Structure 1
Amino acid sequence: MSSSLPPEVRRLIAATLVNTFGNGVYAAVGALYLTRIAGLSVAHVGVGLTIAGLVGLIVSTPLGVVADRLGPNRAYVVFLLLQAVTMTALTQVRSFPLYVAVAAVTAIADSGQRGAKGALIAGLAPADQRVRTRAILRVTTNIGMGVGMGLAGIVLAVDRREVYVIALLANAATYLVTAALVRWGMPKLPPVPRATGPSGLTALRDRPFLVFVGLDGLLSMHNAMAQIAIPLWVATATDAPTWLISVLLVTNAIAVILLQIRVARGTEHLAGAAQAGRRAGLLLALACAVLAVTDVTSGAVTIALLVLAAIVHVLGEMLQSAGGWGISFELAPAGAQGQYQGAYAMGHQLGDLIAPFVLTVVAVSWGWPGWLLTATIFLLAGAFIPVVVRRARSDSDGLQQVAELPGGGEAGPVTADRAG
């Protein structure tokens, strides 16, 4: 899978596997640790995560500037080490205020490492391999998370405080190992001096790019759709067996592992990336429409439609990811990959904040009208992405590729690459 990539990129893939293995362990045990062992209420955990999400959203772009100024390697290592500290501190949480403080610092570290990692990918991988590298890393993430969540079953089965603490400390250790792989296994990318690099506010002044970030954030609500809305819909609004929830989640994970790299082909260029965003909105809208139909079906028909919706959904999910990677890399000016990757991450953070409300209160609670309204949101968000990208490229004097975007003129060589 990665044989044609530079050795330093393969090292980054190995680091990602280690990191996401630990994240998978925590994803499976974190909520139970906080409520059963640390003594927090479910409401406290929810409020803490919301506050942390807002903090991460606010600092994402400024920390991307830090990555540009320090150099992606150094910044990535610093934020990984900070995550190791906060994960260790989590083992000492016994009160809500302390949990909020730890969660907020964790969000800062997570936002910082996202921007730094994006800049590192942009610097290590050849321009035409950046999106493919992102796709491989997403596959790696799914594998690492899956293995971690699987092994976390042992922790959940034992269900004792000391075992939960060991799991959290094991996750902290994976941050240290990841930092070591980055620190000593990759060439050091030079920092961008303040005097010669773009202003630290460049991304936040780039209005077309920020509009793209918002639209991409709306599309990224597909994460909560798969993990929250569809399971709730299956369990509360259909007559499908609850075991089907696991089937749908496994289908999603397997599809990403098998198809993400293939789906990402052609999105290295703005033409293919913009098309991917539009098609992602269309597919996610179609998945919502299929789910709306299950409000009035029953038996085997409902099961078949739910499986169809899951397949269409994951195709849209993969296209949204690939299109977003391509656009965020291509629209970033030289010397500003860190801050643009940080700004790009804001869209996903925004999507994570609003998705639970939109998808539970509107889609699940309102039934088929709610799903059709959600479908409209996805459809419009995807449809406007090519328009915004044309404007962004025009503003940065890249007029040659504007003509190649959907609806922007005659097909050119980039379109031919996409078709291939």
Structure 2
Amino acid sequence: MTTTPASAASDQDGDSTVVARPDRATRAAGLLPADSALRRATLITVFNSLGNGLYFPLGVLYFTRIVGLDATAVGLGMTMAGLVGVAAGVPAGRAADRWGARQVGALLWGGTGVATAAYVLVHSYAGFLVAVVCATGLQMASRGVQGAIYADVLPAATRVEARAYLRMITNVGMGVGGAFGAIALQLDTRGAYMTVILVNALSFLAPASMVRRLPLAAHVVERVAAQKEPAAVSSWRAVRDLPFLAVTVLNAVLVVQYTLSEVGLPLWIVERTEAPRWTAALLMIVNCVLVALLQVRVARRASQVPSAVRAMGWSGLLLAAACAVYAVSAGLSPVWAVLALTVGAVVQVFAEVLSAAGGWTLGYELADARAHGVYQGVFGAGFSAGMMAGPALVTVTAIQHGAVGWAVLGVLFAVTGLAVRPAVRWARRDGEWRGEAVA
């Protein structure tokens, strides 16, 4: 992929993008965005992550404690909603290619906000199913469209670093929102829960009104101006692009690592180790802080295909090492168990930032730039599928079978990370078919 020099580009609404430093997306040691498009995307991310973090600690509790639904039934409904979201990812991406990623993204976020606000009206399981399927389905479908939006509005040369910066902002926003969500949990009243739900709904509605005004990047304007072949010709190409699908599946397997922190480790700590329960919170804090410190720096070093492939390979090996350390913690005293779990969490953070950066790069660089919507829809659907399968996979391996289960997970991660290299070579050989050379 060719890099775009610093320049101003106008979109259909007359807005312009000025890439201040084509070699960097951020400044001030990675703490501040360096160009106007990233600044606007940052504002959108702040709104959305604050609302999501606010809602995350109490979403399930609202439906069980306040509405009075059975916890198992709620879990089943959320799983159904997740399946709908995975299935909707590709059609949403197709729509983004046809009508514009920003326009479709605005509709999906707006719809998510309305459906989320409808939670306050739920009084039955049927109402819960309708609301959660709409809200979760639309939100998950928007994941790939969001990737396509970033492909359109962020400078190509710094896009991966910009994604890393936005992920850092997301982590910080989720953390701040979660702190306020804890206050609502402590109040434990219907009014407190409903207030959180409505604020979370606004965190989707506000970005929906802002995303359509994001300016197109210079490389997109130039491509559209020079394009002679209609974009619709390649609209469904990602669905039959076997090399890209292979990379998507491998990335989905590595995505399972996120559920280690969210589901696996809390269960492991409580059920299998002598570590105190607060260790789970400690490891989450370690993860958030280190991701915020490392993600942008790592992304700068994994913004090309060869470096991204290496990052994915190292990620798999580091995840295997983290799994081994977690397994050892089961036979240790409380103090040593906490130490071992912390070491494993630090190793996992390095794996996480490497795989995230590598995944962003490969998701963009192996895609046909004329159909980023459907390509990012496929890649986002793979991400969602990995997140959905993760809790069950971690439970039936590590939690149920201890060290043997951790070994199975470790081998799976290591093999997956190393398999990225031949999959990308396949994609490179197939580059002519996709209509453009793969960098």
- Answer yes or no: same fold by TM over 0.5: yes
Q: 1:380 aligns with which of 406, 415, 434?
A: 415
Deviation at 1:351, TM superposition (A): 1.1
User: CA 1:299 to 1:89, structure 2 compared with 1: closer, same or farther past 3 Å?
Assistant: closer
User: For the Cα contact (< 8 Å) 1:212–1:389, is it kept in 2?
Assistant: yes
Deviation at 1:90, TM superposition (A): 1.1
Between 1:159-168 and 1:95-104, the stretch displaced more is 95-104
Name the aligned partner's letter for residue 136 of structure 1: Y
Alignment RMSD (CA, Å): 2.1
Name the aligned partner's letter for residue 259 of structure 1: L
Return the alpha-carbon distance in structure 1 between the equivalents of residues 98 and 294 of structure 2: 36
Deviation at 1:294, TM superposition (A): 1.7
Deviation at 1:187, TM superposition (A): 4.9
Q: 2:153 aligns with which of 103, 107, 124?
A: 124
User: For the Cα contact (< 8 Å) 2:106–2:212, is it kept in 1?
Assistant: yes
Between 1:351-360 and 1:372-381, the stretch displaced more is 351-360
1:285 aligns with 2:320: yes
User: CA 1:166 to 1:239, structure 2 compared with 1: closer, same or farther past 3 Å?
Assistant: same
Name the aligned partner's letter for residue 13 of structure 1: T
Deviation at 1:193, TM superposition (A): 11
User: CA 1:185 to 1:120, structure 2 compared with 1: closer, same or farther past 3 Å?
Assistant: closer
User: For the Cα contact (< 8 Å) 2:82–2:137, is it kept in 1?
Assistant: no
Q: Which residue of 2 aligns with 1:115?
A: 144
Return the alpha-carbon distance in structure 2 between the equivalents of residues 62 and 17 of structure 1: 27
Q: 1:144 aligns with which of 173, 177, 186?
A: 173
User: For the Cα contact (< 8 Å) 1:11–1:186, is it kept in 2?
Assistant: no
1:6 aligns with 2:35: yes
Return the alpha-carbon distance in structure 2 between the equivalents of residues 87 and 386 of structure 1: 41
User: For the Cα contact (< 8 Å) 2:153–2:214, is it kept in 1?
Assistant: no
**SS of equivalent to 2:234:** coil
Deviation at 1:108, TM superposition (A): 2.9
Return the alpha-carbon distance in structure 2 between the equivalents of residues 330 and 368 of structure 1: 38
Deviation at 1:250, TM superposition (A): 0.3
Q: 1:363 aligns with which of 398, 401, 406?
A: 398
Q: Which residue of 2 aligns with 1:247?
A: 282
Name the aligned partner's letter for residue 217 of structure 1: A
Q: Which residue of 2 aligns with 1:32?
A: 61
**SS of equivalent to 1:396:** coil
**SS of equivalent to 1:117:** helix
Q: How does 1:147-158 map to 2 (within 5 A)?
A: 147-158=176-187
Question: Runs of 5+ in structure 2 lacking a partner?
Answer: 1-25
User: For the Cα contact (< 8 Å) 1:278–1:382, is it kept in 2?
Assistant: yes
User: For the Cα contact (< 8 Å) 1:64–1:116, is it kept in 2?
Assistant: yes
Return the alpha-carbon distance in structure 2 between the equivalents of residues 5 and 119 of structure 1: 21
Deviation at 1:128, TM superposition (A): 1.5
Q: Which residue of 2 aligns with 1:105?
A: 134
Q: Which residue of 1 aligns with 2:429?
A: 394
User: For the Cα contact (< 8 Å) 1:288–1:372, is it kept in 2?
Assistant: yes
1:180 aligns with 2:215: no
Q: 1:352 aligns with which of 370, 382, 387?
A: 387
Deviation at 1:301, TM superposition (A): 2.5
Deviation at 1:341, TM superposition (A): 0.9
Name the aligned partner's letter for residue 303 of structure 1: V
Deviation at 1:139, TM superposition (A): 0.3
Between 1:184-193 and 1:361-370, the stretch displaced more is 184-193
User: CA 1:74 to 1:150, structure 2 compared with 1: closer, same or farther past 3 Å?
Assistant: same
Deviation at 1:4, TM superposition (A): 5.8
Return the alpha-carbon distance in structure 2 between the equivalents of residues 20 and 356 of structure 1: 22
User: For the Cα contact (< 8 Å) 2:244–2:367, is it kept in 1?
Assistant: no
Q: Which residue of 2 aligns with 1:50?
A: 79
1:162 aligns with 2:197: no
User: For the Cα contact (< 8 Å) 2:81–2:133, is it kept in 1?
Assistant: yes
1:300-326 Cα distance to aligned partner (Å, 9 max, x none): 322221111000011111111111000
1:93-113 Cα distance to aligned partner (Å, 9 max, x none): 122222222222123311332
Q: Which residue of 2 aligns with 1:77?
A: 106
User: For the Cα contact (< 8 Å) 1:62–1:200, is it kept in 2?
Assistant: no
**SS of equivalent to 1:69:** helix
Return the alpha-carbon distance in structure 2 between the equivalents of residues 137 and 127 of structure 1: 15
Between 1:280-289 and 1:340-349, the stretch displaced more is 340-349
Return the alpha-carbon distance in structure 2 between the equivalents of residues 147 and 260 of structure 1: 19
User: For the Cα contact (< 8 Å) 2:93–2:374, is it kept in 1?
Assistant: yes
Between 1:295-304 and 1:264-273, the stretch displaced more is 295-304
User: For the Cα contact (< 8 Å) 1:60–1:115, is it kept in 2?
Assistant: yes
User: CA 1:185 to 1:197, structure 2 compared with 1: closer, same or farther past 3 Å?
Assistant: closer
Deviation at 1:201, TM superposition (A): 2.0
**SS of equivalent to 1:239:** coil
User: CA 1:106 to 1:198, structure 2 compared with 1: closer, same or farther past 3 Å?
Assistant: farther
Return the alpha-carbon distance in structure 2 between the equivalents of residues 154 and 67 of structure 1: 38
Q: Which residue of 1 aligns with 2:257?
A: 222
TM-score of the pair, normalised by structure 2: 0.87
Q: Which residue of 1 aligns with 2:121?
A: 92
Deviation at 1:342, TM superposition (A): 0.9
**SS of equivalent to 2:276:** coil
Name the aligned partner's letter for residue 180 of structure 1: S
Count of matched residue positions in the alignment of Structure 1 and Structure 2: 402
User: CA 1:26 to 1:4, structure 2 compared with 1: closer, same or farther past 3 Å?
Assistant: closer
Q: 1:23 aligns with which of 39, 46, 52?
A: 52
1:230-256 Cα distance to aligned partner (Å, 9 max, x none): 111111111111121111110000011
User: For the Cα contact (< 8 Å) 2:320–2:413, is it kept in 1?
Assistant: yes
Deviation at 1:266, TM superposition (A): 2.4
Between 1:178-187 and 1:67-76, the stretch displaced more is 178-187
Name the aligned partner's letter for residue 70 of structure 1: W
Return the alpha-carbon distance in structure 2 between the equivalents of residues 114 and 64 of structure 1: 9
Deviation at 1:392, TM superposition (A): 0.8
**SS of equivalent to 1:233:** helix
1:246-276 Cα distance to aligned partner (Å, 9 max, x none): 1111000001111110111222211111111
